[in-house]
Amino acid sequence: MMFDLQYLRRLTETAAPAKNLAEVLAKAEALEKLSLEEVASLLAVTDAEDLAQIRQSGFRVKQEVFGPRVVLFAPLYLSNRCINNCLYCGFRAGNRERQTRTLSPEEAAAEAGHLAQLGYQRLLLVTSEHPDTGADYLEAVVRAIYERAAIRILHLNAPPMSQSNLRRLKEAGLGVYQVFQETYDPECYRELHPSGPKADFSRRLAVMDDAIAAGFDDVGLGVLLGLHHHRFEALATVAHSYYLRDRYHLNPHTLSVPRLRPAEGSPITTPPAPVSDPEFLKIVALYRLAVPTAGVVVTTRESKETREQALGAGASQISAGSRTDPGGYSEEGKTSQFEVEDRRTLEEVILDLVAAGHLPSLCTACYRSGRTGVRFAEMAGAGEIAAFCQSNAILTLAEYLAAHSSDGRFAQAEAMLQHLLEEIPDQKLRQSLARKLEEAQAGARDLHY
């Protein structure tokens, strides 16, 4: 057994709100590993002031590990033809109303090219499960995008597959491989996944072990919040993360917090186990405190306001300008997977982030310089990522502003860059970065350390 789900269930049911809250939070802020019992006691907190303290701690740990950076990406939906029947999803086989669409590798590269022109450098490929969109197809898509579009790193959210297929995809140049468990409760899982390969709970649970064996050193976990009791789900996600660390010395690269959204053609109209906003933000902070080096990812399933609050609780990655229908960036889409809540464009998100004091980052330098997996986590844990990556994030923002600049809209962002440059204590680095910023202004691209 990877980790004892029954024990986690008992712990969820019996845990009382942390009496020694300040002590547990101080431990987390010192980047010390929290025990599962401590995690369960944080999840049991309901008092509004205590919740505010947990969120503030989450934010402080995020600043310690990542500095002011917030990483930006967009999902690229490849196909919505699916042989599974996840009851919450608009793509499910049982949704007879859905209009299916699978992008050819050429079409996927065109979508990626369109996104690259808007300024994205990092995309998350997303696909449903179908024999026509297996590893051969995905490998062709990955190669086509790298060949034809100025996208620097592709991540993947796709169904479990064999180790040999995962290896091929890793070798084609994928960064993070994400699979969400959806729910760690076997009974709830069975009810919501009545048919198709995804009906196999254990197969899904083992996918990260397969991915790591296939050479992925960056993997992403998540549960679909709203399906089952959130305290159990969040605790199980942390337990899964601890299992990967103990067994493979790998922290998950990302922990996502998808919360159930209405989906056309889904029989589930309201979440079976709703997660309120304070509970959602508690989970964001909790993931940050329990797995400090993970990118905590909040997508456009959430509103602008909730995403801003999530950033204040320790989230570090957000998607922007997302479409959840294949082909949706270049043409009017067909069936979306779920309704998107935050419809701001990339530029709007960048400017709002700057206004709130965050540093929007389009950076992909870690992948280009081989700082992944254990190496990334070690550097992040030692606080080195915050210092190291700041300069790269500054450069990518400068490149974005130079490429898209017009009528003074970017004045605040340009002032932020100048201010961050002046704050760099190391004189040599400051001078070198100032030179690179001038190069970016003059049209140079892909500048990084």
> What is the contact surface with ligand SF4 in residues (CB under 6 A)?
82, 84, 86, 89, 91-92, 128-129, 159, 198
Structure tokens at 115: 């996104």
Read off the amino acid at residue 387. Answer: A
Q: Minimum distance from CB of 357 to ligand SAM (Å)?
A: 29
180 binds, among ligand SAM, ligand SF4, none (CB under 5 to 8 A by kind): ligand SAM
> In this complex, which beta carbon is closest to ligand SF4, that of residue 91 or of residue 189?
91
258 binds, among ligand SF4, ligand SAM, none (CB under 5 to 8 A by kind): ligand SAM
Rounded-to-integer distance, Cα 70 and Cα 116, Å? 18
Decide: 260 and 250 in contact? Cβ < 8 Å: no
Which residues does residue 79 pair with via DSSP β-bridges, in sequence order? 102, 127
Decide: 368 and 396 in contact? Cβ < 8 Å: no
> In this complex, which beta carbon is closest to ligand SAM, that of residue 220 or of residue 321?
220
Q: Minimum distance from CB of 271 to ligand SAM (Å)?
A: 9
103 binds, among ligand SF4, ligand SAM, none (CB under 5 to 8 A by kind): none
Read off the amino acid at residue 44. Answer: A
Q: Minimum distance from CB of 138 to ligand SF4 (Å)?
A: 14
Q: Minimum distance from CB of 381 to ligand SAM (Å)?
A: 28
126 binds, among ligand SAM, ligand SF4, none (CB under 5 to 8 A by kind): ligand SAM
Decide: 323 and 333 in contact? Cβ < 8 Å: yes
The contact set with ligand SAM (CB under 6 A) reads: 88-89, 126, 128-129, 157-159, 179-180, 182, 224, 258, 260-261, 263, 301, 337-338
Decide: 65 and 380 in contact? Cβ < 8 Å: yes
Decide: 100 and 148 in contact? Cβ < 8 Å: no
190 alpha-carbon distance from chain centroid: 26
110 binds, among ligand SAM, ligand SF4, none (CB under 5 to 8 A by kind): none
The residue among 238, 163, 173 whose CA lies nearest residue 208 is 163
Q: Minimum distance from CB of 363 to ligand SAM (Å)?
A: 24
Q: Minimum distance from CB of 13 to ligand SAM (Å)?
A: 25
Judged by DSSP in three states, 269 sits in coil
Over its C-alpha atoms, the chain yields an Rg (Å, rounded) of: 21
Structure tokens at 378: 């070690």
252 binds, among ligand SAM, ligand SF4, none (CB under 5 to 8 A by kind): none
Q: What is the DSSP letter of 30?
A: T
Q: Minimum distance from CB of 131 to ligand SF4 (Å)?
A: 13
> In this complex, which beta carbon is closest to ligand SF4, that of residue 119 or of residue 258?
258
> In this complex, which beta carbon is closest to ligand SAM, that of residue 186 or of residue 369?
186
Decide: 413 and 401 in contact? Cβ < 8 Å: yes
111 binds, among ligand SAM, ligand SF4, none (CB under 5 to 8 A by kind): none
Structure tokens at 176: 């993070």
Structure tokens at 43: 């999840």
